[in-house]
Structure 1
Amino acid sequence: MELLDTIKTLIKPILENNDVYLDDIEYLQENGEWYLRIFVEKNKGSLDMDTCVAVSEAISLKMDEEDPIKGEYYLEVSSPGVEKPLKTFEQVKASVGKYVYAKFINPTAGMDEVEGFIKTIEDETIEFEYLVKNIKKRIKIDYSNIKFIRLAVKF
């Protein structure tokens, strides 16, 4: 079993006991240091600091107990944040009606990015609604043409 799959299995009961779900997990090296980053979200409502601390402490104990990672690393448990990347098409589909920022692989209608609402998704075509000088516009982009997409904060 792959390392991240092993870790997911180890932490699953902890997440369930704290009414949170795993949004993402990554194990990577930055500046010569290894990091295990676990991003969690509350099943209902928003993640509060007390829950995040409880989950982090429980995961830390479990990781020390089972020791699936040999060597030193930093454990970081957090929410993915308000501008979380949408890494899968399923996450994009679950974000219909939300405000997002998307960067395109190939420019479409003279644009290489858009910031606006996901209005609809049909097959793999995403319809965005955005503003140009306070006038609502719409553009349709194939998911395969999305280089990067994340939730955004509207000011």
Structure 2
Amino acid sequence: MSSTPYLAFAPNVQEIVRSDPSQIPENFLIITNEEEGKSNNTADTCHLSSEIPIVDLSLLSRGHKEELNKLDQACKEWGFFQVVNHGVATEVLQEMKDATAKFFELPLEEKNKIRMPSDDFQGYGQAYAASQGQTLDWSDALFLNVYPSHHRKLKFSPTSPEGFK
């Protein structure tokens, strides 16, 4: 038995849809209408979205103890949180969203120039399957580790679209 983990890349979701949108490979997560109605009803979704932790960065940066506790709890119980009062201009955030959308509109050949290799999680593609038979999300991703800076791998930073950086 090998100690090397099973790593396999999922096919590009955008290309699957372009070639035949009626065929979804069996290793992708598929939720039927019946299952969707049972597990994702609107009341449950609205309830959960109202509980997602919100951390006020301006309070946190001033050492506000209650906000620090909120951050601690969000990390332990949720694994993520929404940040408000971060000081990033709305225009900058919109430019980031626009550049990201343009990246995903590029031809596959262009995006594959920074494809995730089998020994890394940074780059373009779908996160690899860690085990055979793993159910995959119906999505493609661009993952760039930017902090701490010594983990940054600039070879995975897109050179297009212009202004992406």
Normalising to structure 1: TM-score of the pair?
A: 0.24
Q: Higher RCO, 1 or 2 (CA under 8 Å, sep at least 6)?
A: 2
- Structure having the higher Rg: 2
Higher normalized helix content (fraction of residues): 2
